[in-house]
Amino acid sequence: MSQEHWDTVIEPKSALFDLKIKELRQYKDLLLLFVRRDLVAQYKQTILGPIWYFIQPILTTLTYVLIFGNVAGLSTDGLPKMLFYLAGVTSWRYFADSLTKTSETFSKNADIFGKVYFPRAIMPISITITNLVTYGVQLILFFAFYAYYVVSRQFDLSIQRELALFPVLIFIMMLLGLGFGFILSALTTKYRDLKFLITFGVQLLMYGTPVIYPLSSIPEEYKIYIMANPMTPIIETFRYMFLGTGTLDYGHLLYSTVFAIVLFIIGLAIFNRTEKNFMDTV
C-alpha cells in the first residue's frame, strides 16, 4: 500500500521566529484576495467611495493648518503650511493605520481563524500591503499639491538626491507597524479593553513626532526625547528629501532601522506564540 501524500501538514509546534515564508508563498492568492477585499470593503456603500482616500488627508491637513498653523502659530520651517502638514500626515497615517488595524488581528478574525487553517501572518501582512496602496494614492495627492505650489511659485522645486532612501523609509514604517501590531494583537486577546487605549496612544505618539511641528523648533534639551521616537527620523527624512527642510541624519535613521527590526522580531515571536492558544482566550 502506497504511503499517503499530503499537500499541507498541520503540526502543533512551530518556531517562534518563523515567518513561514514558504507557506506565505503557497497562500499568495489568499493574501491578494484579502488585500482586494480590504480595499473594496473600506468605502463600499459610501456616497463618495474611493474619493475618501483623498478627502481624509485633505480634511486632516486643513484642520492642522487652521489650528496649529494659524491659531497656534507653530513654525513650518518657512514652508507653505498645507505642504508642510501634508508631508507629515501622509507618512504618519501609513504607520498609524498599519499599527491600529494589525492590532485587531486576533480579536477581529477569531471566527475565521477557528474554522480554517492558513498562515495567520497573512492577515497583518495583507493590512500593511492594503495600507501601502492607500499610502501610494495619498502620495499622489501630496505631489499634486507639491506641483501646484511649484507652478504658482510659492515654493521652489527641491528634490534631494537622497530620494533613493524612500523605499527604506517605507520598509521601516512597515516593520514598525507590524512589530507594534503583533505585540498589541497578542495583548488584546487577554485584555480586551486595551483596544480602546490603542487609538488614544497612537494619537498621543503623534504629538511626540514632528508631524505638526518641525524638529528645529524643539529646544535642545528636549530633542533627545523626540529623537527616541523611531518615527521622528522617518518624518524628518521625508521632508528633507522632498521639501529641502527637515533633518537627514544617517545615525538616527540607522537607529530607526535597528529599532524596527528588533521590534518586528520580538513581535513575531509573541504573535507566533499567541496564535497557538489564542482561541482559548478570545
**Residue at grid coordinates 497656534:** 72
In this predicted structure, what is the pLDDT of residue 25?
80
Q: Give the mean pLDDT of 112-140.
A: 86
More confident residue, 117 or 57: 57
Percentages of the chain per state (helix, strand, coil), in multiples of 5: 70, 0, 30
User: Residue 252 above 60 pLDDT?
Assistant: yes
* Calpha distance 148→59 (Å, rounded): 18
In this predicted structure, what is the pLDDT of residue 14?
57
- In degrees, rounded to 5, the angle at the alpha carbon of residue 241 between the alpha carbons of residues 235 and 210 is 20
Q: Give the mean pLDDT of 113-142.
A: 87
pLDDT digits (tens, 9 = 90+) for 43-59: 776 666 778 888 888 99
pLDDT band at residue 1 under the 50/70/90 scheme: very low
Burial 108-117 (b: 16+ CB within 10 A, else e): bbeeebeeee
pLDDT digits (tens, 9 = 90+) for 77-88: 888 999 999 999
Taking the model in full, what pTM does it have? 0.86
Q: Give the mean pLDDT of 60-79.
A: 90
Residue 236 CB contacts under 8 Å (≥ 6 apart), including other chains: 210, 215, 246, 247, 248, 249, 252
* Calpha distance 105→189 (Å, rounded): 9
